[in-house]
Amino acid sequence: MRILPLPTLHLLPPFLATVPAVTEVVEMSVIQLFYSKLLEKFAEKLGVETPECVVTVVAEGWFLAYIDLPIARSGIVIKIVRNWGAPSPDFKVAKEDAAHVAIQRMKGKLDLQIKNTNYDDFILYKSLYDNVTRFWIFSNSDLLRQFKNPKREYNLLKDCYASAVVEKVESIAEQVKMRRTIDECHVTINYLHADRIATVADLSEAESAS
């Protein structure tokens, strides 16, 4: 690994001509992917030498890395493509970003097929789960149908019970109303009977006095 200071900024790509200076760097906990190790694996699989990563200093406290990637066809290098990473205040981050860019360039230029084993395992287990679920549904379809009948009967009985309770409450209310009416009739009859007795007594006293 070589660290080369750049004498001037105009040697950089146009989009990196101006790099802001910073006085403080806030470190955060991140999960770092080691693209440089992955690049070595790619080179090993392709049987070529691992490209060298060059880290340069572009401003005070800022690093910028690049990797010259040889593009070969039929064993012959046809061109060399320089892959710039993004400027970073962290030396390792700048290096890993350049390796990431180089990997993406290799993937596009060499038509590499990168297999995501995590995703493949996910597809496999999801397929197994779907098959087991489908088998369970088919094998238990009769049981599910039998379960629906008691559930339907239960709902019917629940509705009948609710209707019976409502009818009973209405019947009790009607009986209470009738009882109240009968009591009022008894009071009226007793009042009339007492008034009649009083009237007869008054007539008897009047006849006796005459």
Which of 69, 86, 109 is the last residue in one of the domains? 109
Confidence class of residue 66 from pLDDT cuts 50, 70 and 90?
Answer: very high
DSSP letter, residue 2: E
Least confident range from 1-15, 32-46, 117-131: namely 1-15
What pLDDT, on a 0 to 100 scale, did the predictor assign at position 89?
93
* Domain identity same for 153 and 209: yes
What range defines the domain where residue 10 resides? 2-109
What pLDDT, on a 0 to 100 scale, did the predictor assign at position 67?
92
* Domain identity same for 96 and 146: no
Least confident range from 69-78, 92-101, 156-165, 172-181: namely 69-78
What pLDDT, on a 0 to 100 scale, did the predictor assign at position 15?
36
| Nearest-angstrom CA–CA distance, 106 and 11 | 24
Identify the helix (H) or strand (E) that includes residue 118. helix 117-139
* Domain identity same for 61 and 93: yes
Quote the number of domains for the chain: 2
* Domain identity same for 11 and 95: yes
* Domain identity same for 7 and 105: yes
Is 70 within the bounds of a domain? yes
Is 162 within the bounds of a domain? yes
pLDDT tens string 128-138: 888 888 887 77
pLDDT, average across residues 109-116? 68
pLDDT tens string 132-166: 888 877 777 777 777 777 778 888 888 888 989 99
Three-state SS letters, 148-208: HHHHHHHHHHHHHHHHHHHHHHHHHHHHHHHHHHHHHHHHHHHHHHHHHHHHHHHHHHHHH
Is 114 within the bounds of a domain? no
* Domain identity same for 123 and 75: no
pLDDT, average across residues 85-109? 88
Is 43 within the bounds of a domain? yes
Instruction: Report the SS3 class of residue 45.
Output: helix
* pLDDT greater than 70 at residue 117: no
- Residue % of the chain over a pLDDT of 70: 74
User: Rounded to a whole number, what is the largest CA-CA distance in the chain?
Assistant: 158
Nearest by Cα to 99 from 60, 50, 47: 50
* Domain identity same for 69 and 167: no
Which of 109, 138, 153 is the last residue in one of the domains? 109
* Domain identity same for 83 and 153: no
Work out the number of other CB atoms within 10 angstroms of the CB of residue 59.
Answer: 16
* Domain identity same for 97 and 127: no
Q: What CATH number is associated with residue 81?
A: 3.30.160.20
* Domain identity same for 145 and 167: yes
Please give the model's pTM, rounded to 2 decimal places.
Answer: 0.40
* Domain identity same for 137 and 193: yes
Which of 50, 75, 109 is the last residue in one of the domains? 109
* Domain identity same for 98 and 143: no
